A = this chain, B = another copy of it.
């Protein structure tokens, strides 16, 4: 483990922590910061990046929550795992933190709407979910990223919840979700066959649970799918 210098460009934007997160992430994905490397101290990052301590802590906390670095009390912060070097092909590094953050409200909202959809979906709504699933499969088989089909699937589930506020809130997140899905599925398109198979299987299980009107199962599978989607982006599981 060797202490390294972060090459940081001073920034004066609102989302400073996101930008800092992105710059550190970029150096991890590029391999400039190798696994096991020790990051500079908080004080040092503050000075180099010309931001206050809370901004640095925020960025480091998120990097740790995303499994990219690990902090050891009183010793320092170390690079833990390296996401796919292609990550920054699909999203600007300053946006990645915000894309990952979108999973938090999604987990809450979509797990609930999946459960409600299992209880309330009409036949017509179930068919729409099934059609979105088929479209996603087709997109994958054509080598497309399928992010629009993915969004359509999740929106169809939200609509089937029988409460127009669920699709409305998802639409409110459309911009950030489309960026997030483009990034996630861009990586998947360039990943292994196994990875694509998993993504489809996760969607199929959500559909099956809603179809068989099992609310607890639908909640669990949606929650699991979103958790795995996020982990695939940060590379917590290698290529999976």
The segment from A102-110, A129-137, A139-147, A184-192 that touches chain B is A102-110
Are A54 and B101 also in contact (CB < 8 A) when A107-B112, A109-B109, A165-B176 are? no
The segment out of A34-42, A44-52, A220-228 that lies at the interface is: A220-228
**Contact across chains for B227 and A220 when beta carbons are under 8 A apart:** yes
Once the chains bind, are B163 and A105 in contact (CB under 8 Å)?
A: yes
Q: Inside 8 A of A127's CB, which chain B residues have their CB?
A: none
A172 within 8 A of B: yes
Q: Is the interface of A mostly helix, strand, loop or mixed?
A: helix
What residue of chain B has the Cβ atom nearest to residue A102's Cβ? B165
Measured in the bound complex, the distance between the Cα atoms of B172 and A217 in whole Å is: 27
Residues of B within 8 A of A67 (CB): 212
* Chain B CB within 8 A of A85 CB: no
Determine whether A166 belongs to the interface, using a CB cutoff of 8 Å to chain B. Answer: yes
> Could you tell me the distance between the alpha carbons of A111 and B161 in the complex, rounded to whole angstroms?
18
